Chains A and B, each alone.
Chain A
Amino acid sequence: MTRTVAFALALVLAASVAAAQQKPPDLSGYWGAGRAGQVDPQRVAQLPPNTVVLRDAGAVEFPANEYGGLRVKPAALAAAKQWKPADDMSISRVCQPPSIVYAMQGPFPMEIHQGTELIVMKLEYYDMVRIIFMDKRGHPEKVPHSKVGHSVGHWEGATLVVDTVKVSASTITNNGLNHSDNVHVTERFWLSADGRTLLGLQEFEDPDVLENRGARFMAWDRVPGEFVLPYECDPSFALNYVK
Chain B
Amino acid sequence: MPSRLTVSVLLALALGGGGVVAHHSFAVFFDDTKSVEIKGTVTEFVFSNPHAVITLTAARTSGGALETWRVETNAQTLLRRRGWTASSLKAGDVITVQGWPSRDGKNYMRMRRVLRADGTELGAPPPAPGTDPSGERR
Contacts and interface: CB of A to CB of B under 8 A. Distances in A.
* A and B interact: yes
B49 A178 contact: no
B108 A241 contact: yes
Interface in A47-100: 58-59, 61-64, 74-76, 78-80, 82-83, 85-89, 93-98
Interface residues of A, number: 59
Interface stretch (A11-19, A20-28, A129-137, A230-238): A230-238
Main secondary structure of the interface of A (DSSP, over half): loop
B14 A95 contact: no
Given A63-B27, A178-B15, A229 B138 contact: no
Interface stretch (A148-156, A167-175, A184-192): A167-175
A175 to B, nearest CB: 5
A89 B30 CA distance: 14
B135 interface: yes
B12 A171 contact: no
A93 B133 contact: no
Contacts of A176: 16
B84 interface: no
Contacts of B29: 85
A107 B11 contact: no
Contact of B77 (A74, A89, A229, A234): A229
Nearest to A226: B81
Contacts of B80: 229
Contacts of A76: 11-12, 15
Interface in B36-67: 46, 48-51, 53, 55
B122 interface: no
A174 B29 CA distance: 11
B28 interface: yes
A88 B16 CA distance: 11
Given A59-B136, A88-B21, A102-B22, A180 B50 contact: no
Contact of A170 (B20, B48, B53): B20
A100 to B, nearest CB: 11
Interface of A: 32-35, 58-59, 61-64, 74-76, 78-80, 82-83, 85-89, 93-98, 102-103, 106-108, 124, 168-171, 174-176, 178, 180, 208-209, 221, 228-234, 236-237, 240-241, 243
Given A85-B24, A169-B15, 10 more contacts: A33-B78, A75-B8, A78-B16, A96-B19, A168-B20, A171-B21, A174-B23, A229-B81, A233-B49, A240-B72
